[in-house]
Chain A
């Protein structure tokens, strides 16, 4: 029996404490985050508001011209419910010149450009609002590499990156994220009708259980199969995890000297604070 249930009170205490501690010791009191209308950014916004006070959080809504109006509506629900400050910054004008130059660009290229345009907006607001960018990526997408490098994965710190998608839903429900957000199909909303589960080819419910066995419980692929997962599914996920390791690391620096950043120059970010 694979149980991904979490104690939501404990998670909430640890994660709000994390945001409070790690933002203030860097010399900040405020946070900036992209709010899409989905459950991940909704949860991150609720946690940030609780940790820092709503006035100290800026939710940035960044629709593209084809974004679903429902996404914006749900993002506004989050802003209203948490009382955070908000700013709407459409990214259409940022990415259109690129797309016009490359009219044949694939949906993947377009999606990546949109995610990176949103990163530019967030880091610009980070400076303007004097707040650190709070990440909204969950453990499932980080492990599967279902993110854009230097796009949606870019942040100063991430409170929810050790929660699988199904655990995000559980905690989001506990902190009061509206049902309409909890219950809709997850989507990157990069094109009309896109859903994560349609694109990935499996449900979060299924893959979270498998990831839990592979990553948390250190099961071998054979053991995962014995636990009831199809061989094809297991090997697909194992390979996805391996292939996307580069998205989870800083770029390697070629070592030449005796002491090299990334190998033997070892300090936490919290060094001295």
Chain B
């Protein structure tokens, strides 16, 4: 089975949902015309990234009652969409969220579970922490979504793997940092390393969309990638420019790779749980 993914590494206007929505809709038309089945936008693609006090202003509820989501849901009749936004829940907590939309329905919403609040990041100040990592079924098989810092930690991808995801969709608004005499920034090199590692360790597809553009002095580096279950790079978008990058996945690669390398079959989850229980149950001695 083939799945054509389009990675939309767009620039956004900070806090201007209307302008960003229009870009989503026109990119969706373009991707549909090019034969894409699934179009992935970056983290906070509807709002921009450094929202600070704009966070509550741009928050939305992802359903057809919301005029902006109504248009996105309509567009999802043509091809599946992953969009980034701020979700406000019933109790008025604000989450960095990504929604998977298909055939006019909201199939899944992921809330970012790791909010970087260190260095240049201040997400924990403005956002609530997501509390779940769930894979979900799509018309292309079982999928998982993580947002940026979520996959700087090893446990969320691991959980998605055990929950059945064969395709990992990662979205970012990753500020470029670490300029040295290397072809990429440190931040780009790190993300490419770990995404290749996840694809290899979990013998799965890993698709990553990262935004471009600037917010004040921050640059976002793009460079969206897809790795296959062998850890091979299938496609890579350009650095620092808007692009719509397409790749056709041969989903039968999962069968071939796992026949060769049964890491999923052999994963000792009970041992993992037992040891984790022991480790967490023992009194901390300050050495771990």
Contact = CB atoms under 8 A, between A and B. Distances in A.
Interface string A1-39: 001011100110110011001100000000000000000
Interface string B48-62: 101011100000000
Contacts of B215: 268, 270
Interface string A135-169: 00000000000000000000001000010000000
A100 interface: no
Contacts of A271: 14-15, 54
A269 interface: yes
Contacts of B16: 272-273
A271 B48 CA distance: 10
B180 A5 contact: yes
B14 A270 contact: yes
A5 B181 CA distance: 5
Interface in B216-232: 216-217, 219
Given A7-B180, A21-B213, A21-B214, A266 B52 contact: yes
B14 A268 contact: yes
Contact of B52 (A7, A10, A22, A268): A268
B176 interface: yes
A272 B14 contact: yes
B219 A14 contact: yes
B181 A270 contact: no
A267 B54 contact: yes
A270 B219 CA distance: 13
A6 B179 contact: yes
Contacts of A11: 179
A18 B214 contact: yes
Summarize B's interface: helix, strand, loop or mixed.
Answer: loop
B52 to A, nearest CB: 4
Interface residues of A toward B: which range?
20 to 34
B52 A269 contact: no
A271 B180 CA distance: 30
Given A14-B176, A21-B213, A7 B183 contact: yes
Nearest to B216: A268
Contact of B13 (A3, A7, A17, A272): A272
Contacts of B48: 270
Interface string B11-28: 001111000000000000
Nearest to A5: B181
B217 to A, nearest CB: 7
A131 B262 CA distance: 62
A266 B180 contact: no
A3 B179 CA distance: 11
Given A13-B239, A18-B219, A268-B14, 6 more contacts: A6-B179, A10-B184, A18-B214, A268-B216, A270-B14, A272-B15
Interface of A: 3, 5-7, 10-11, 13-14, 17-18, 21-22, 157, 162, 265-273
18 contacts: A5-B181, A10-B184, A14-B240, A17-B219, A17-B240, A18-B217, A21-B213, A21-B214, A267-B52, A267-B54, A268-B50, A268-B52, A270-B14, A270-B214, A271-B15, A272-B13, A272-B15, A273-B14
Interface of B: 13-16, 48, 50, 52-54, 176, 179-185, 213-217, 219, 239-240
